[in-house]
Structure 1
């Protein structure tokens, strides 16, 4: 039996709690579940007033944000490329992905994609806090995930030794895969 039962919530910082709620409600239909505001951080007891909001991301998943006005302005790790850190949400299918892309564009939101990752296709956009958001629709063919699971351990081991690109899963983008492989 696994120790973990899922992700309880993922938390990020926001510039403005209300603006963040409005954005996620209007773009992705996420409802505000609850808000907590205190003068002290519960875990450290440090004095630092905050607003902590929790949004319903569907299927029992929760996305949370902290507005912390007494801290320096938000930034990002400039040593990490912007495409690396992102929040990815699953959508039902390609039709939903494409319809959402058009709705976002009609709201004046710049959208990249869809990008074909072979396992899924994605679109990307940025929330008002500068967080990159990905919406993904699964498109994986039967047998591919099982093959990738088999390759994962050896790939990480080779990467750890060489810190060079590992080609074990290159079939994904080279269209050489069949379930019999």
Structure 2
């Protein structure tokens, strides 16, 4: 079982901000203020990268959530167009999830997003959370979710067990020259049949 890192420094308190690339800062401000209802709270404009000093004019915009965390974007002229994702997983798994208070709130968001011309998937009941999915004006996959099981993130022993199983199945399949994805699929289905997995992610 993996142990927490030694307490050599303070544990981070919260997510300060997550940052993504945008090709249109103005359209992004419109989406996150008008559609998402967030405050456009700050912006940074500079001509060089602070870390290297390299000439690269950029505009960095921030939107504040109710807990004090932020979603941020960079617009930088000349960035090549975003390439199509090589696999569906890149689009589905890479996403930003925002929490609301109840299922009713998720349903209300689904109605609101649809009324604004935003294509949605769901709402979907995952057992531990209830969510609706959509993409912003930049193609960033996003999620509005609410917690159904208040203990969903309090299973460290089970998480360590599942990680060990995941790594074991991958290792054994690789050594045998077997299809790793099929081996993992079969192992997960066996665990589900045994009642060890009850949640769909």
Same fold, TM exceeding 0.5? yes
Q: Which runs of 4+ in 1 moved over 4 A?
A: 142-145
1: distance between equivalents of 2:63 and 2:152? 33
1: distance between equivalents of 2:17 and 2:86? 25
Structure 1, unaligned runs of 5 or more: 174-181
Equivalent position SS for 2:50: coil
Q: Cα deviation per residue 1:23-81 (whole Å; 9 max; x = unaligned)? A: 01112211111111111010121111111001112201100000111221233542462
Structure 2, unaligned runs of 5 or more: 1-6, 171-183
2: distance between equivalents of 1:42 and 1:79? 33
What corresponds to 1:42 in structure 2?
50
| Deviation for aligned residue 1:158 | 1.3
Alignment of 1:51 onto 2:59: yes
What corresponds to 1:150 in structure 2?
157
Count how many residue pairs are aligned between Structure 1 and Structure 2. 171
Equivalent position SS for 1:172: coil
What corresponds to 1:6 in structure 2?
14
Equivalent position SS for 2:93: coil
Q: Residue 31 of structure 1 contacts residue 56 of structure 1 at CA under 8 Å; is this kept in 2?
A: yes
Alignment of 1:61 onto 2:69: yes
Equivalent position SS for 2:137: coil
What corresponds to 1:176 in structure 2?
none
Question: Alignment RMSD, CA only?
Answer: 1.9
Higher fraction of helix: 2
Equivalent position SS for 1:24: helix
| Deviation for aligned residue 1:109 | 1.1
Q: Residue 8 of structure 1 contacts residue 62 of structure 1 at CA under 8 Å; is this kept in 2?
A: yes
Q: 1:53 to 1:10 in 2, by over 3 A?
A: same
